[in-house]
Structure 1
Amino acid sequence: MAMLLALSACGQRPAEDRDPDKLTVVATVFPAYDFARAAGGDLAEVQLLLPPGTESHSYEPTPADILAVQDCDLFLYLGGESDTWVETILESVDLRGESLRMVDCVPLLEEETVEGMESYEDGHDHEHDHSEAPGLGEVVGYDEHVWTSPQNAAAITRAIGDTLAALDPANAGTYAANAEDYAARIEKLDQEFADFFAGAGDRTIVFGDRFPLRYFAEEFDIDYYAAFPGCSTQTEPSAATIAFLTDKVRQEHIPTVWYIEFSNHLVADSIAESAGVRTAMFHTCHNVSAADLEAGATYVSLMEQNLETLREYL
């Protein structure tokens, strides 16, 4: 670790080039990055550690990433299974600033494998008997995708604002106002989702993909079926799983098979083709593309896009 830090020193922005009047914040995933830049406003420099388009479950930090985490005023990370690499960093360096885990900001739900889903134990995929519904009712630990519920997203934004205020008491009022303003925008969107689902005839959705939307589904009382749990590393479901999901789409007249961002959506395409329905993407906001980041995408803009897609495809 010491060697990596020494070799990477030339790749980091020199401390003297940083604005001494601004807090430095490093966030591992896009939601934390977005909430922090909203709460910090002009008073904080916020860095997204996860490169655009990168899958956090397989991410490996660079030496430069390690230095950024060590030297920032506030380090924001998820705290779930996909962040196990973060714990390695935190055990290896002395943080100059503070850290905040998103999973500590809201009540947690257990991740689960529902009927028809490929199951896994302790975060690792495993073989199972496909003669019965795979993994029905199996609990595999806490779900880390807490931000997918807009209510949680608003709470996390306020928590980040409180933390920034504690780090910079002279500007505490500004951080609080910024965080409250963004949280209010999220809550307005949350009400729009609630109004939409209140008028929806059927709240059953099928994902030919991982399902990292447990909190979203719980908040809006959505029944779901999917190929894999939210943190699964599998990409090829069994024939039994595909057959189950295809039959579910046909039997319940479900008009759309969904997939998530950065997916090759081959499984969703296969199910949809067999059932004679459409496919659509639901953006989980876990990360964004370089183009989206450059265009100024936010949690709110991505979730507004999801709402419009739901109106068209659900």
Structure 2
Amino acid sequence: MMHDPAAEKKQKNWYRCSMAVLLAAALLLSGCTGGGSVLSGPVRETDSKGRDGSALKIVTTIFPQYDFVRQIAGERVSLQMLLKPGEETHSYEPTPRDIIAIQNADLFIYVGGENDAWVEDILDAPEMKQVRRLRLVDCTALLKEEHVEGMRHKGQLCPGTEEEEEENDEHVWTSPKNAMEITKRIAEELSALDPEGREGYKANLDAYLEELAALDRQFREITQKAAARGQDLLLFGDRFPFRYLAQEYGLQYYAAFPGCAADTEPSAAMMAFLIRKAREEQIPVILKMELSSEQIARAVAEASGAEVRVLYSCHNLTAEQFEAGEGYLSMMRKNAETLQAALGQ
């Protein structure tokens, strides 16, 4: 299927109209509820005060920034994540209550980029001008989304040789180095909103940065050993949102789709390419993301004699993992173990 610019423009116009209707519904609902809190969980009693004199309200779209805030702020703020545990971020659609939560937030933290176009549309509304916001893509240097050989993109296989205009890759948190820069910015925002909590935020940030630095050293040791043996290739039977992780640690990869691909239907040519590469390179582990189908990864693994493992992008986690207190650090530590197996260690 060829890329149709006219159809894409029509779809974007429809999407913007939908966002306008959704915003109108949210404002109507806000008027009916008096603009009160719509947090799914209880509001914590804290010394930190927001615009309305209650607990400082922090709203995030997905899990990485949610976890970063709770590591830095602890119980000092009232924190909400719009994406429910167990939901896949690419299928998320905001509700009127989500929009009210954003409107009432003292700080709204989102990723930015192509998948957050709905956020930009909402924040452009006059009613949202007072909302303080932080975009993760503004916290660190950006890389372009990459289309490697064999990857299916807009209905076609990417040859890996043609240059084309690409979107920025928005999965900036997948590198622990970037996570350090993001958490520093979050701490700055929290301190500006709540000067009385500045010392506590700094102490928590410093402790968290030490753990991120240790995680960075662990990844670097694993990948440097792999590079020394000439075994630094990964194969994903899934989308690939790990551009920053691969760039930071010098990893090569093949994957079925780019990180933000909407079309994830496998083609015969793409499957044949991945299976051939898995066999030729004697790949021991075929990787997939969390909360996504393992259809492609399982088929490639069965055809090549490999096993399937999850590499966490940390977009989100299951309800069980959330209740168990899993976080960015614990999932990335699991990733380190998975990389060791995938790189033949």
**Same fold? TM cut 0.5:** yes
The Cα of 1:164 is off from its aligned counterpart by 0.5
TM superposition shift of 1:277:
1.4
- 2-side partners of 1:137 and 1:37: how far apart? 41
Q: Which amino acid aligns with 1:51?
A: K
Query: Are 1:215 and 2:241 matched, yes or no?
Result: no
Matched residues, number: 306
Q: What residue in structure 2 maps to residue 5 of structure 1?
A: 27
Q: Report the CA distance between 1:14 and its aligned residue.
A: 6.9
Residue 205 (1) aligns with residue 234 (2): yes
Task: Give the 3-state SS of the residue equivalent to 2:119 in structure 1.
Answer: helix
SS at match of 2:152: coil
Kindly provide the CA deviation profile for residues 202-248 of structure 1, in whole angstroms up to 9, marking residues without a partner as x: 11000010000000000010001000000001221221111111111
Report deviation, 1:2. Answer: 3.8
* Contact persistence 1:37–1:45 (CA under 8 A): no
Question: Contact 1:26 / 1:47 at 8 angstroms: preserved in 2?
Answer: yes
Question: Partner of 1:228 in structure 2?
Answer: 257
Residue 105 in structure 1 maps to residue 105 in structure 2 = no
- The match for 2:94 is 61
Structure 1 residues without counterparts, runs of 5 or longer: 120-124
Structure 2 residues not aligned, in runs of 5+: 1-22, 49-55
1:283 is matched by which residue type in structure 2? Answer: Y
Counterparts in 2 of 1:148-227, with a 5 A limit?
148-200=174-226, 201=229, 202-227=231-256
1:50 corresponds to = 83
SS in 2 for 1:306: helix
Question: 2:101 is matched by which residue type in structure 1?
Answer: A
Paired with 1:7 and 1:276, the residues of 2 have a C-alpha distance of 55
Residue 136 of structure 1, CA deviation: 5.4
Q: Partner letter of residue 267 of structure 2? A: S
**1:106: how far off?**
0.2
Structure 2: how far apart are the matches of 1:183 and 1:137?
A: 37
How many angstroms apart in 2 are the aligned matches of 1:134 and 1:192? 31
Distance in 2 (CA, whole Å) between partners of 1:142 and 1:162 is 25
Distance, in Å, in 2 between the alignment partners of 1:313 and 1:87 is 38
Structure 2 CA distance for partners of 1:142 and 1:3, relative to 1, 3 Å = closer
Paired residues of 2:46 and 2:75 also in contact (CA < 8 A): no
Helix, strand or coil: the match of 1:178? helix
SS in 1 for 2:98: helix
**Which structure shows the bigger proportion of residues in strand conformation?**
1
One of 76, 83, 91 as aligned partner of 2:124: 91
Percent identical pairs in the alignment equals 46
Which amino acid in structure 2 is aligned with residue 195 of structure 1?
Answer: E
Amino acid at match of 2:106: D
Determine the C-alpha separation between the residues in 2 that align with 1:159 and 1:18.
23
Distance 2:73 2:121 in 1: 27
Aligned to 2:244, the other structure's residue is in SS state helix
Structure 2 residue corresponding to 1:251, chosen from 258, 264, 280:
280
The one-character-per-residue Cα deviations of 1:113-134 (angstroms, maximum 9, x if unpaired) are: 0001012xxxxx2x43x5x837
